[in-house]
Structures are given as structure tokens and as C-alpha cells.
Structure 1
Amino acid sequence: MSNISVNLPGLKLKHPVMPASGTFGFGDVPAAQQFDLNKLGGLVLKTTTPHERVGNPQPQIAVLDNGVLNSVGLTNPGVERVISDKLPRLKTEYPDLPIMASVGGESKKDSLAVAQQLCASHMVDALEINLSCPNVAQGGMNFGVHPDVVEEITSSIASVVDIPIYVKLTPNVTNIQDIAVAAENGGANGLALINTVMGMRIDIRTRKPLLGNNIGGYSGTSVKPIALYMIHQVHQVTQLPIIGMGGIESAQDVVEFMLAGAHAVEVGSAHFHNPLICIQIAEELPGLLDELGIDDINDVVGQVELNEAVSSNSLA
């Protein structure tokens, strides 16, 4: 049988499939109670901020034909409660499950403080740095759109924690390669991409946006080509391991993402239709790899064979 285990900085995964941040909360949402979380490759937690956040106005989620539009607003109980309540329960029930916490904040100081506290808890194996939060110091613009800001905040966090950090990249930029290089220069141990694509839907009868916050992040199968292209781009300019996401809902998708350059994946929107999707994908992987003649899933990373005379940066 083909090997499907993956070793990343801080994360020894029995298989490369994890739920995306926010999907399973802190392992305490109803979907997470339907099966043994040890069957996951690892668990990525909901983004944690310095203080409790109640989130954006309702409705926060619109499930569409080919994806999901959301503006949840990083609802979470705050880092102190995550450390005192959420993480101890997780570690007690699932002591061997690789856990990656997600760090967020409205300033560099916020993110730095959350990262330090989570690291000091000794209950998480790695940190995913969510740079899609609004940067209050820069007029609400997301941290992740400016290479210099990405490098600065990555460097600040890397200098005060002793566990690996994965910088989560937004697709809402002109050149994602510049952002990836900035994260690597700042000391990131890995990258995660793509975060959601900014979007909007309007009810033509009420003339109101579907989301209470008017705009939100779009995810699901429709963004898969965007995610694959950006992962392929980033893989060309960095040696860092990549955790890919964006429209994954099958074992075939996992192999496709890994061919583009991902080393592991996160699954998000597909859980709205099937809470067991991660487990099912992981169960299908060995058979698919055998069918493809692949002995080790790690061997396919970045092995896409480009057509001759076509630039890897071509949009055509």
C-alpha cells in the first residue's frame, strides 16, 4: 500500500488531510463530535485573537451553488479561554493529534501576544498566522497584502516562539510570490494558501447583500483553479513546505494540489455538505495512489509536467 504520511515542521501527519481553520472550531462544534478526531491528519483550530470576538452581523454565511460566502468575523472566546478551556480538553481527549493553532489580531502587537501565549501553553505543535485580519494601524487594510508588513510581522513572531509558524497567504494581491518570499525572509517555517477570495452577492428583490457585513470571503470548488495557480506560483520561488487549500473535496483534488506544489492540504467549504469529508478523502487516497502507480505521496509534490513552450507564469 502506498505511503500517505507526511512530515512537516512541527506536524507529523498520518495523512495530508486536515480541516481548514474555522471548520471544526476548537474541536468542539457538532461536526467534530461525529467521529474520532484522531482519524484526521491534524487539526487546525479556529483563529484566536487577544480578546473575545462576537463576530460580524448576521447573516454571516451564505451557502451558494458552487461555494460559500462567509463573513463570520473571527468569532472566538479569546486567547485566555482558549488556553484555559479549549486546549486542555483537546489534549486530554486527543493527546497524539497534531494541533496547529491559528493566530489573529488587529495589530502586530496583538498577533505577537497571541502567538507567545499559545506557544507558552505547550499545547499546540505549530502556529498558522492569519494575515487576512484588518490592520487597524494601516486604515483597515489586511496585513497580508504588503510584503514589508508580512516580513515584519513574521519576523517578530518567529523571534519569540520556539514552534514552527506557517504564514497563511491571501489571494487578494497582485503578486502572491512577493508575499511568499517576504514570509520566508521573515523566518516562516511554512506557508498556507489560499485564504478566501473577497466577494459579494446581492438579493435582487430586497436589493440587500446576502451577508450582514455586505462583503465576505468566497471559498469552495469555484476557487480551485485560482488556488492551484497560486500554489504553483509560490512553489517556484520558495523552498518552504506549502499547505494548500481552496475547493478540495476529493482524493483526486489532493493529488492535484500536491502536483502543483502543496505538501499537505486543508479542507473547508466541503464540510458544509459532508462533515466526514476529510476522513473519506484520506480513506480514498491509498487506492488512488496505487491506481496511479505512486508508492509515496510525497514523491508527487511539485511534479506537474508543464506543456512545452508555455511559461509557468502564463495566464493564457
Structure 2
Amino acid sequence: MPNLEVTILDVLFKNPVITASGTFGFGREYAEYFDPSLLGGISTKGLTLNKKDGNKGIRLHETASGLLNSIGLQNPGVDAFIQDELPFMKQLETVILANVGGGCLDDYLKAVEKLNDTAIDMIELNISCPNVSSGGMAFGIKSVDAEKIVKEVKAVCKKPLIVKLSPNAENIVQMAESCVHSGADALSLVNTFSGMAIDILKRKPVFNNTIAGLSGPCIKPIALRMVHEVSKAVTVPIIGMGGIMDYRDAIEFIMAGSDLIQIGSGNFINPMISLDVVNGIEAFMDEQGIKQLSEIKGIAGKECFFN
């Protein structure tokens, strides 16, 4: 039988499939469909230091082969997460990535310090959210800004630190190198692309914030290219994501250089998608005679010929 286990930063994932932040909540709703313990991990709803109500107006809008969202990091805040959600998540017996966002550096630092002594396994630092009015995206565009926040957070963080990159960065490879240089233990990429939609009858943007985050199958080829480029530039583990809709997409990201993958918008279309991808990867490996995922990780960047 193929071995789907992946270990990064001394954390063991039973398989490479993680549900992406903001698409799986804290696992409660999806636990009604399948056992989340069968997943490699769960990235929490984006957490901020204090409770956040999120954006007003329309928050989701379908587009061709994709989804625009302007949620605005609605969440209960770190303290409420630790008290009310984390005990439940620990019962799921899978790796927990606490996704942390913030409006300013101090908010990030205080949130991470609160999470340091909890049972979470890793922190995923969100410097790449495109639909909040401050912080988030602002830190993920210029490398100099990212360097500062990653360095400061790393100095107080007691957990393995993953930095989530924005595809809207001025230079994604340079951004990745800067974050690693500043202390990132791993990288996850990519978050949503900046996009917008216009209501032609109302003659105004669909979203109150005008700009929203684009995800779904339409971004996959670009996300895949970015993962490929970053994987060749850095040596830290990479978690790839962006439009993964089935096991074939997941395998592509692994072959592009990802150690692990995250599934986002697909969770809204098919609540069983993450488990389907796990089973699909296993079946593919069995059929192809692949015993370990390390055999195909990054293979698309190497010379390989098949008869």
C-alpha cells in the first residue's frame, strides 16, 4: 500500500491534504459529512486578536470557473477560539494550523503570543488577505514590509511558522526568499487574486469594498506556476493551493514542488472533496507504483522521461 504520510518541521501529517483557511470553519459543519480525522490537517478560519464582524454587503459572487469573496476575516477572535473551538478541533485528531491575520504588527504579535502555549501544531501567518481594509494584503505586496512582520513574529513564535503568500506580490519569488530569510519555516501559496465584479443594472461594483479575492479552478494554472517557481528558489517546505478540485490537481501541485496541498473553494461545491482527494491520491499512487510522495515531489522541475 502507498504511504501518504508527510513530515515537515517535525510535524507528521497522515496525508498531504489540508483544508484551506476560511473554507472549512473549525471543522464542525463538515464533521456532519465525514470524519475530519481522515485529513492531513485543517487550517482554521482566519483569526484576529479581537472578534471581527467582517465586511458588510455581498460577500460571495460566482464568476466564470471561480468565486469572488469579500468576507473580511469574520471570526470570533483568538481568545474565543482557544476557549470554544480548539477543544473540539483537538478531538478531530488531525494537524491544526492556526491561520492568523491582523490589522497591524502589534495585533499579529499579541495573537501569536496567545496561541504559543495552546495545543495547535503550527501557525500560518496570513499576510495576504485581499479583502480587508488594513493589514493582511498590505503586508503581502512589498518584500520589505513582509520581511519586517515575519522577523518580528518569528522572534515571539514558539510554533513552526508558515507564511501564506499573496499572488498579488510585486515578485512572488523575491517575496518567498525574503520571508524565508526573515525566519519563515515554511511557505503556503497562493492566497486569492485581487479581482472585482460589476452589477451592470445597479451600475456599481458588486462588493462594498470594490476589490475581492478570486479563487477556484480559474486560478490553478497561475498558482501552479508560482509554486513551481518558488519551490526552485527556496529550500523550506511548501504548501501549495489554488483551484484544486480533484486528486489530479493535487498531484500536479506536488509534482510542481509542494510537500502538502490545501483545498479551498472546492469545499463549497462538494463538502466531501477533501476526502475524495485523499482517496484519489492513494489510488493514483497504487496504480502508478509510487510508494512515497517524495518520489514525485518536484519532479516536474527535473528531467524525466517515460516510455
Match of 1:296 in 2: 292
Name whichever of 244-253 and 143-152 sits farther off.
Answer: 143-152
Aligned position for 2:15: 15
2:160 matched to which residue of 1? Answer: 164
Query: CA separation in 2, counterparts of 1:235 and 1:218?
Result: 23
1:234-285 Cα deviation digits (max 9, x unpaired): 0111001000000001111111101111110000011111011000110111
Contact residue 13 and residue 40 of structure 2 kept, 8 A = yes
- RMSD (Å) for aligned C-alpha atoms: 1.8
Contact 2:198 2:205 in 1 (8 A): yes
- Confirm or deny that 1:110 pairs with 2:126: no
Which residue matches 1:26? 26
Residue 135 of structure 1 and its aligned partner are, at CA, apart by 8.1
Secondary structure at the aligned position of 1:284 is classed as: helix
Report the secondary structure of 1:124's partner residue: coil
Separation in structure 2 between the aligned mates of residue 222 and residue 85 of structure 1, nearest angstrom:
36
How far apart are the structure 2 equivalents of 1:22 and 1:62? 15
Q: Does the CA-based 8 Å contact 1:103-1:114 persist in structure 2?
A: yes
Cα distance between partner residues in 2 of 1:173 and 1:153: 15
The match for 1:64 is: 63
Matched-pair contact (CA < 8 Å) for 1:189–1:240: yes
Task: Say which of 174, 181, 187 aligns to 1:185.
Answer: 181
Unaligned runs of 5+ in 1: 309-316
Cα offsets for 1:178-201 (capped at 9, x unmatched): 110111011111000000000011
1:194-218 superposed Cα distances (whole Å, 9 cap, x missing partner) = 0000001112222232323322000
Contact 1:135 1:143 in 2 (8 A): no
Does the 8 A contact of 1:60 with 1:213 survive in 2? no
Q: Distance in 1 between matches of 2:153 and 2:96?
A: 18
Q: How far apart, in 2, do the equivalents of 1:32 and 1:153 lie?
A: 35
Q: Say whether residues 1:269 and 2:265 are aligned partners.
A: yes
How many angstroms does 1:290 deviate by?
2.5
Residues 90, 155 of structure 1: CA spacing in aligned structure 2 closer, same or farther, 3 A cutoff?
Answer: same
The residue aligned with 1:144 is 140
Q: 1:119 aligns with which of 116, 121, 136?
A: 116
Instruction: Report the secondary structure of 1:244's partner residue.
Output: strand
CA distance in 2, matches of 1:190, 1:219: 22
Contiguous gaps of at least 5 residues in structure 2 = none
Q: Does 1:228 align with 2:224?
A: yes
Q: How far apart in 2 are the matches of 1:153 and 1:55?
A: 23
Counterpart in 2 of 1:130? 126
The residue matched to 1:123 in structure 2 has which SS? coil
Kept in 2, the 8 Å contact 1:24–1:32? The answer is: no
* 1:24, distance to aligned residue in structure 2 (A): 1.3
Percent of aligned pairs sharing the same letter: 39
Residue type of the partner of 1:22? G
Q: Work out the number of aligned pairs and report it.
A: 302
Give distance in 2, aligned partners of 1:146 and 1:188: 16
Q: Distance in 1 between matches of 2:112 and 2:184?
A: 13
User: Does the C-alpha gap of structure 1 residues 60 and 148 become closer, same or farther in structure 2, counting only changes over 3 Å?
Assistant: same
- Within the alignment, does 1:250 sit opposite 2:250 as a pair? no
Give 4+ residue runs of structure 1 displaced > 6 Å after superposition.
none
Please list, as runs of the form range in 1=range in 2, the aligned pairs for 1:29-48 lying within 5 A after superposition: 30-48=29-47
Indicate the SS of the match to 2:261. Answer: strand
Whole-angstrom CA distance in 1 between matches of 2:142 and 2:87: 36
List per-residue Cα deviations over 1:153-173 (Å, max 9, x = no partner).
111111112210100000002
Aligned with 2:18: secondary structure? strand
Tell me if structure 1 keeps the 8 A contact 2:30–2:36.
no
CA contact (8 A) 1:45 1:101 kept: yes
